[in-house]
């Protein structure tokens, strides 16, 4: 399986996700520099977390105009699986591959801790092995918002990938870490080959992390 | 300005505004054989202030033990280096950013983190963990909330963005910090032993290269400001605080590490306090060479900057390097790739002078040795005050029926409650190597790509230090050592951050001297040397000094990560046992300060022989896989330690009824003790082993499902404790 991880200046989860991919999928991904202009033949493109370009503007806004993004968009439109994690999710929204917006957390502060999410769509290429999972979040702007119309369309088309919940799978305010509408933690595009999610599966991918639930994302892709 | 020897042209007020004393100015004139010009005066001011020259502390710091089997580099370089097997080394240091953080908490704390990160990656190490030691004024002081939230978001803002996890630290509150908070930041990095980079310039004619951000007018005289006391007008010094740019630092980190893979860098030094001045002079001094710098070449952010401003700016995210000339093109390419400045600004010379040229004119010419070797060094007068007397308290001195309510109040107090509100604002998991997250005795990070880890802990008890600086100094060292042991690590070495008041006051200097003596004794006994450190003096506002605060950062090695221990209780039916003697010392304990609201009864003393023996015993049990969880008994005594273990593990404890039902037993803070959770069936074996080694070991109780039970009328649900514990800091 050929995988690619895009590296922007300021990406900081690029190595972490590459390590997880190597462990779970079995081969090292190719790291693609943001100034490159093409990604040929990929089975998975990951846009990793971090603070691309420092995120001094709206998160992901600068990165979405980076030279490499043209190729990421072309690949996504061709049906290549594209996974955006955390800042990667923000970049995919800014580049128009995913809908909605990620606003500042309702607490107005950065949050780093474990959350529990459940797959709302458990049939997609990214979620077909998912169950109720524990994974860390680490972000300042993860408060997902979309208009009622957009949400309705996403629901009808099964584009909501994950929702924050409690250990029993109940979706409620207490289990919502950042104020996201409908507790949304991750969404898919219309064709379901692009996933953006705030939780970090690469940080719950081996024994020392204390939890290995994040592996299911990559195992689903392998499946 | 006159003296017996000279009639000076330079105005006295100008000399004084540069923080230089009359006799220091005389020394400059003597060294140069003439009066300095303004640029030169600025350079002397920057090099000879307390922050850069250690003029009051040097004599005493030399007394600390700094060598050991695993020490690769002791104090004197950008950071200390220790061997952690397999050709790997850990590189670490702690540094203060107290004054700027009080003036501007977000940027002050952020640039503190940025500075210490640079110290570590300058040496060729990839930073893998950040920690901090923070002191604020009273929780209800009008400034505390603002300062706490600013500092925490500043630390998070920088560390989160650059992608280095902030894995631990400590914070406490005391009125002595009302006007002068302490922000001490520590970074640990990992490198290969044969790939460590130093700052000694070499190779006459080699290019001196400036990389990173452009130089602006920010932070001019920052180090001089940090070497003076505060008063009401200190707010006016805000412009001396630098502004951090973690994104650029991330680029600088990656570019430097990329270049370090090539054989191109001969010497490298970050531009921290006193910017271009201290970096260029340190490189020249260490290499015993001269440097000629053309200041017109320095990348500038502002127009028409003078030589004086360029030399004294503390703009962040900059480095100075001496390169192998044949690698210049390759190096330039790497920095261009990362969109960073790269400019050859000078050459290494054999003049042993720092010569500055700007627009073709010589702006300064100073022999390096005058700046460094001839820098003033003081043996300041000191008075060692009598330590507060130790008092014995009896069970009937306090109302025993209050023990459980006291426990609830103490666990909710800002000094003892959960720090979750703080560390949830720090990305403590980026790099995906965090093994033990914040909230245990020590943080543990894996050495990437291996099955070994580093345990790291910061600690200090200023109240102990104030009332007995010698025992307090010992305690700060020993507490980190104990935290590392409790986590299953072999403690290796420490970094220190010495925060004190005005050293010109003999009683403050006395505190410094005694803390050093205590630290030194502990380090020697425990084979736990000092490999790096920093001194921050003049922490005073309106003449009122802070409590002596020698913050210690300890680093230990865990050879096999399956041996890592945390504080969370693991299973019902297990025994919780105490290693070490409990002799009921209640003086200056958290019970006294929080509940009785007084500092009384004297600081507990530490028997270093017992400390060493108890620690080795615990490590032996851990290595024999006999320990399920472990925790050192620290602030708040046994009952607080039990509560923390119960809350972390969501389990309870039935305490044996043979224990003395008293405050002094449950909240006493005598030292060298651990709580360890073991399987019932291993109790006899461990007891025998303890006996054979003459170690005090006794069962405290048995783990149950949901409450802490002291006796039938003193029971508390762990869930209720947890609610109190977690409320804490966010309510400030």
How far apart (Å, rounded) are the C-alpha atoms in residues A137 and B160? 12
SS3 B533: strand
Active site members of B? 51, 97
For residue B483, give the nearest of B451, B462, B448, B454 by alpha carbon.
B454
Catalytic residue among A13, A59, A86, A165: A86
Q: Residue ranges of the domains in chain A?
A: 3-222
**CA gap B520, B511 in Å, rounded:** 14
3-state secondary structure A11-61: ECCHHHHHHHHHHHHCCCCEEEECCCCCCCCCCEEEECCECHHHHCCCCCC
Across all residues in chain B, what is the average pLDDT? 94
**pLDDT value at residue B623:** 96
Each residue's pLDDT tens digit, B242-273: 889 999 999 999 999 999 999 999 999 999 88
Instruction: For A112, name the nearest residue in chain B, comparing CA atoms only.
Output: B424
pTM: 0.96
A109 with B430: Cβ contact below 8 A: no
pLDDT higher than threshold 80 for residue B408: yes
- Please check the confidence at residue B239 and state whether its pLDDT lies above 70: no
Interface test with B, best of A56, A62, A110 (most B CBs within 10 A): A110
CB-based burial label for B350 (10 Å; 0-12, 13-18, 19+): exposed
Residues 6+ apart with CB under 8 A from A21: A3, A5, A27, A28, A29, A44, A46, A218
CA distances, A24 to each of A81, A130, B91, B359, B596 (Å): 16, 15, 31, 59, 56
Check if the beta carbon of residue A175 is closer than 8 Å to that of residue A109.
no
Q: B163 vs A20: CB contact, 8 Å cut-off?
A: no
For residue B552, give the 3-state DSSP assignment. strand
Mean pLDDT calculated for residue range B320-327 = 97
> Chain A residues with CB inside 8 Å of B246's CB?
51, 54
Closest CA to B55 of B518, B504, B466, B519: B504
Q: Give me the percent of chain B exceeding a pLDDT of 70.
A: 97
Alpha carbons within 13 A on the beta-carbon side of B730: 13
Residue A51 has its nearest CB partner, among B161, B424, B435, at B161
The pLDDT, as a whole number, for residue B229 is 73
Give the torsion through C-alpha atoms of B90, B159, B316, B343, to 10 deg. Answer: 70
Considering A4, A34, A139, A200, which one is annotated as catalytic?
Answer: A200
**Closest chain B residue to A110, measured at CA:** B425
Residue B1 has pLDDT above 60, yes or no: no
**Which pLDDT belongs to residue B223?**
61
Reported as a single tens digit per residue, the pLDDT across B20-46 is 998 999 999 999 999 999 999 999 999
Segment B292-318, tens digit of pLDDT: 999 999 999 999 999 999 999 989 999
Distance CA B376, CA B682 (A): 61
Average pLDDT, chain A: 97
**For the segment A69-103, what is each residue's pLDDT rounded down to a tens digit?**
999 999 999 999 999 999 999 999 999 999 999 99
The CA distance from B657 to B712, in Å, is: 9
Residue B219 has pLDDT above 80, yes or no: no
Ordered DSSP codes for A73-134: HHHHHHT--EEEETHHHHHHHHTTSS-SEEE--TTSS-EEEEEEEEESS-SSTTTTT--SEE
Residue B679, Ramachandran bin (φ over 0: left; ψ between -120 and 50: alpha; else beta): beta
- B707 bridge partner residues: B717
Cα B711 from chain centroid (whole Å): 42
Task: For residue B308, report the phi and psi dihedrals to the nearest 5 degrees.
Answer: -55, -50
Alpha carbon of A161: minimum distance to chain B alpha carbons (Å): 24
d(CA A12, CA A52): 8
* Span A114-132, pLDDT tens digits: 999 999 999 999 999 999 9
Per residue in B73-93, is it b (16+ CB within 10 Å) or e — as a string? bbbebbbbbbbbeeebbbbbb
Provide the pairing of β-strand B453-459 with B490-499. Answer: unpaired
Q: Answer whether A112 sits within 8 Å of B246, measured CB to CB.
A: no
What's the first-to-final CA gap in chain A, in angstroms?
12
Average pLDDT over residues A108-113: 96
pLDDT over 90 at A66, yes or no: yes
User: What's the pLDDT band for B237 if we cut at 50, 70, 90?
Assistant: low
CATH 3.40.50.880 fits domain A3-222: yes
pLDDT(B645) > 60: yes
**How close is the nearest chain A Cα to the Cα of B127, in Å?**
13
Which tokens in the block code for residue A87? 């800042």
**B7 falls in which pLDDT band (50, 70, 90)?**
confident
Q: How far apart are the C-alpha atoms of B555 and A221, rounded to whole Å?
A: 40
Q: Would you state the structure tokens that stand for residue B667, as one six-digit string?
A: 């909240």
Q: What is the pLDDT of residue B6?
A: 53
| CB-CB neighbors (< 8 A) of A202 in chain B | 432
Distance between CA B286 and CA B200 in Å, rounded? 5
Query: Does the pLDDT at position B224 exceed 70?
Result: no
Model confidence pLDDT, tens digit, residues A150-208: 999 999 999 999 999 999 999 999 999 999 999 999 999 999 999 999 999 999 999 99
pLDDT digits (tens, 9 = 90+) for B687-701: 999 999 999 999 999
Report the percentage of chain B scoring pLDDT > 90: 90
How far is Cα B467 from Cα B453, in angstroms, rounded to an integer?
36
- Residue B121 parent element (H or E): helix B105-121
Asked whether the ipTM of the predicted complex exceeds the cut of 0.85, the reply is yes
Chain A residues with CB-CB distance to B439 below 8 A:
none
Residue that has been written with the tokens 């979750």 in this structure = B420
Q: How far apart are CA B699 and CA B684, in angstroms?
A: 11
- Mark yes or no for CB contact B153/A112 under 8 Å: no
Q: Tell me: pLDDT of B457 over 90.
A: yes
pLDDT tens profile A51-63: 999 999 999 999 9
Which of A208, A210, A214, A215 should we substitute to test contact with B (largest number of B Cβ atoms within 10 Å)? Answer: A208
Q: B246, B432, B447: best mutation site toward chain A, by most A Cβ within 10 Å?
A: B432
pLDDT of residue B51: 81
**Size of chain A, expressed as the number of residues it contains:** 223
CB within 8 Å: B153 and A110: yes
Q: Are B245 and A54 within 8 A, CB to CB?
A: yes
For residue B4, is pLDDT > 70?
no
| A56 CB-near residues (< 8 Å, 6+ apart) | B247
Residues of chain B in contact with residue A55, where contact means CB-CB under 8 angstroms, are 161, 247
Which positions in chain A touch B338 (Cβ < 8 Å)?
Answer: 9
**What average pLDDT does range B518-531 have in this prediction?**
98
B251–A12 C-beta distance less than 8 A: no
Distance between CA atoms of A45 and A31, rounded to whole angstroms?
A: 10
Within 8 A of B426 by CB-CB distance, chain A residues are 110, 112
Written as one string, the DSSP assignment of B249-280 is: HHHHHHHHHHHHTSTTEEEEEE--TTHHHHHH
Assign B525 to helix, strand or coil.
Answer: helix
Contact indicator for A177, A113 with CB cutoff of 8 Å: yes
CB atoms within 10 A of CB A134: 17
Contact A88, A5 (CB under 8 A): no
Q: Which residues contact B689 (CB under 8 A, 6 or more apart)?
A: B617, B620, B621
CA distance A81 to A93: 15
Rg (C-alpha) for chain B, rounded Å, is 26
What is the CA B578 to chain-centroid distance, rounded? 30
Nearest CA distance, A17 vs chain B (angstrom): 9
- What integer pLDDT is reported at residue A102 of this predicted model? 98
Mutate which of B253, B430, B454, B729 to test chain A, going by most A C-beta atoms within 10 A?
B430
Closest alpha carbon within chain B to A208:
B435
State pLDDT tens for residues B591-613: 999 999 999 999 999 999 999 99
Token output for B492: 């290796």
């Amino acid at each position: 399986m050929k995988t690619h991880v895009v590296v922007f200046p300021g990406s900081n989860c690029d190595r972490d996700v590459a390590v997880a991919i190597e462990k779970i999928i079995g081969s090292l991904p190719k790291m693609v520099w943001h100034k490159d202009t093409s990604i040929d033949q990929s089975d998975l493109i990951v846009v990793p977390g971090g603070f691309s370009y420092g995120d001094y503007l709206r998160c992901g806004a600068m990165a979405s105009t980076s030279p490499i993004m043209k190729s990421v968009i072309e690949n996504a439109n061709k049906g290549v699986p594209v996974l955006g994690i955390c800042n990667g999710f923000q970049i995919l929204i800014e580049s128009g591959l995913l809908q909605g917006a990620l606003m500042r957390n309702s607490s107005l502060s950065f949050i780093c801790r474990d959350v529990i999410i459940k797959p709302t769509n458990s049939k997609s290429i990214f979620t077909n092995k998912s169950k109720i999972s524990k994974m860390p979040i680490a972000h300042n702007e993860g408060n997902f918002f979309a208009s009622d119309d957009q949400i309705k369309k996403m629901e009808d088309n099964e584009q909501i990938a994950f929702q924050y919940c409690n250990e029993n799978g109940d979706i409620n305010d207490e289990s919502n870490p950042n104020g996201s509408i409908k507790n949304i933690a991750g969404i898919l595009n219309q064709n379901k080959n692009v996933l953006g999610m705030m939780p970090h599966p690469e940080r719950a991918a081996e024994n020392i992390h204390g939890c290995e639930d994040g592996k299911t994302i990559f195992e689903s892709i392998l499946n | 300005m006159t003296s017996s020897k000279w009639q000076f042209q330079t105005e006295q007020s100008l000399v004084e505004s540069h923080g230089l004393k009359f006799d220091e100015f005389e020394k400059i004139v003597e060294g140069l054989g003439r009066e300095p010009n303004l640029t030169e005066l600025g350079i002397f001011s920057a090099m000879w202030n307390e922050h850069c020259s250690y003029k009051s502390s040097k004599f005493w710091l030399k007394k600390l033990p700094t060598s050991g089997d695993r020490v690769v580099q002791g104090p004197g370089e950008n950071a200390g280096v220790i061997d952690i097997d397999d050709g790997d080394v850990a590189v670490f240091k702690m540094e203060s950013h107290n004054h700027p953080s009080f003036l501007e908490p977000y940027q002050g704390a952020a640039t503190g983190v940025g500075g210490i990160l640079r110290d570590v990656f300058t040496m060729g190490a990839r930073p893998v963990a950040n920690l901090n030691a923070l002191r604020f004024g009273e929780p209800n002081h009008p400034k505390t909330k603002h300062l706490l939230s600013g500092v925490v978001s500043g630390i998070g803002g920088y560390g989160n963005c650059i992608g280095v996890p902030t894995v631990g630290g400590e914070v406490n509150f005391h009125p002595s910090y009302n006007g002068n908070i302490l922000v001490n930041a520590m970074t640990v990095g990992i490198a290969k032993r044969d790939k460590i980079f130093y700052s000694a310039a070499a190779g006459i004619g080699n290019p001196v290269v400036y990389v990173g951000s452009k130089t602006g007018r920010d932070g001019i005289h920052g180090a001089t400001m940090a070497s003076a006391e505060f008063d009401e007008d200190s707010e006016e010094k805000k412009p001396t605080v630098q502004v951090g740019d973690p994104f650029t630092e991330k680029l600088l980190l990656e570019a430097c590490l990329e270049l370090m893979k090539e054989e191109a860098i001969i010497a490298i030094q970050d531009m921290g306090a006193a910017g271009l001045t201290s970096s260029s002079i340190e490189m020249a001094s260490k290499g015993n060479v001269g440097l000629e710098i053309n200041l017109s070449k320095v990348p500038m952010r502002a127009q028409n900057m003078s030589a004086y401003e360029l030399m004294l700016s503390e703009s962040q995210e900059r480095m100075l390097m001496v390169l192998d000339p044949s690698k210049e093109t390759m190096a330039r390419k790497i920095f261009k790739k990362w969109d960073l400045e790269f400019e050859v600004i000078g050459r290494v010379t054999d003049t042993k002078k720092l010569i500055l040229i700007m627009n073709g004119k010589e702006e300064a010419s100073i022999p390096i040795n005058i700046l460094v070797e001839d820098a003033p060094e003081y043996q300041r007068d000191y008075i060692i005050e009598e330590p507060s007397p130790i008092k014995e308290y009896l069970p009937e001195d306090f109302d025993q029926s209050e023990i459980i309510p006291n426990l609830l109040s103490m666990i909710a107090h800002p000094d003892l409650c959960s720090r979750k509100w703080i560390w949830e604002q720090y990305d403590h998991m980026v790099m995906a190597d965090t093994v033990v997250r914040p909230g245990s005795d020590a943080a543990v990070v894996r050495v990437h790509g291996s099955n070994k880890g580093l345990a790291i802990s910061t600690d200090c008890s200023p109240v102990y230090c104030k009332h007995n600086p010698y025992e307090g100094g010992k305690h700060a060292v020993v507490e980190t050592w104990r935290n590392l042991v409790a986590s299953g690590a072999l403690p290796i070495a420490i970094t220190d951050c010495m925060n004190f008041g005005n050293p010109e006051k003999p009683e403050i200097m006395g505190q410094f001297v005694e803390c050093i003596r205590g630290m030194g004794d502990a380090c020697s006994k425990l084979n736990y040397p000092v490999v790096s450190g920093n001194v921050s003096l003049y922490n005073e506002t309106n003449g009122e000094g802070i409590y002596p605060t020698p913050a210690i950062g300890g680093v230990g090695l865990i050879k096999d990560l399956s041996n890592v221990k945390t504080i969370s209780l693991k299973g019902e039916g297990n025994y919780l046992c105490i290693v070490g003697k409990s002799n009921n010392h209640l003086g200056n304990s958290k019970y006294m300060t929080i509940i009785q609201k007084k500092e009384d009864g004297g600081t507990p003393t530490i028997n270093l022989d017992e400390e060493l023996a108890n620690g080795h015993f615990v490590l032996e049990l851990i290595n024999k896989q006999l320990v399920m969880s472990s925790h050192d008994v620290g602030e708040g005594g046994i009952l607080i330690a039990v509560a923390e273990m119960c809350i972390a593990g969501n389990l309870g404890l039935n305490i044996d009824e043979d224990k003395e039902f008293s405050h002094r037993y449950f909240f006493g803070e005598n030292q060298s003790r651990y709580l360890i959770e073991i399987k019932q069936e291993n109790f006899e074996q461990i007891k025998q082993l303890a006996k054979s080694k003459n170690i005090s070991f006794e069962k405290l109780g048995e783990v149950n499902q949901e409450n802490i039970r002291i006796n039938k009328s003193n029971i508390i649900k762990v869930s209720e404790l947890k609610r109190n514990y977690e409320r804490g800091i966010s309510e400030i």
